[in-house]
Amino acid sequence: MVETRVLANKEKINSETAWEMLKSASLIRTGKGKKQQKWNPASDDKADILKDVIGPSGNLRAPTWKIGNEFVVGFNPELYAEVFA
């Protein structure tokens, strides 16, 4: 069940706001093309995480899902199969 839906073309989330959302997550999974990455914001470098989750427009990449205390950012078919199966 989706509790909150934000349209990325209507509400922009810059890197500062994105980090406020992501910094307390237990895990951040990203997908970009055929690449996947897992990040732990408690131990991984903030700049590296932001480089992966912020798109060329300077905003949080879409789609972004918050599932429990984890985030899934971007799209990768294998990642989606793993997370949403």
In the predicted model, is pLDDT for residue 1 greater than 60? no
Q: Residue 9 domain-assigned?
A: no
Domains: count for the chain: 1
Sheet holding 70-75, edge to edge: 35-39, 27-32, 70-75, 64-67
**One-letter amino acid of 57:** S
Residue 7 is classified by DSSP as -
Answer whether 0.75 is exceeded by the pTM.
Answer: yes
Continuous segment of H or E residues that includes residue 70 = strand 70-75
Query: pLDDT for 20-52, tens place per residue?
Result: 999 999 999 999 999 999 999 999 999 999 999
Looking at residue 46, the DSSP 8-state letter turns out to be H
Q: What is the mean pLDDT of residues 51-59?
A: 96
Residue 53 lies in a domain: yes
Residue 5 belongs to a domain: no
Q: What's the confidence (pLDDT) of residue 6?
A: 74
Residue at 3 is within a domain: no
- Give the structural domain span for 66: 15-84
In a domain, 21, yes or no: yes
Say if 39 falls within a structural domain. yes
